[in-house]
Amino acid sequence: MKDFFQDFNVADDDIVIEMRQGKKTGFALVFLSNEDDVQRARQDLNKQYIGTRFIDVMIPRIED
């Protein structure tokens, strides 16, 4: 997955892959360094593939 985000200088520690019962669920949280990168990732990477897996780049909303 790090290769997928190679244009965004994502480190291994910036990627959190969700696991359930020791198996990957298909969901991950990727931390980007700034809002411009977030928007660019959404524009450039949304609807792309990692191998045969379709990627949906979503931006979480934090509610108070």
Question: Against a cut of 0.95, is the pTM above it?
Answer: no
CB atoms within 10 A of CB 28: 13
Joined tokens for residue 17: 């892959």
| pLDDT the model gives residue 63 | 81
**Phi and psi torsions of 21, nearest 5°:** 55, 40
The ranges assigned to domains in the chain are 6-54
| pLDDT the model gives residue 25 | 94
- Region of 8 on the Ramachandran plot (φ > 0 left; ψ -120 to 50 alpha; else beta): alpha
Sign of the Cα torsion 25, 31, 32, 34 reads positive
| pLDDT the model gives residue 34 | 94
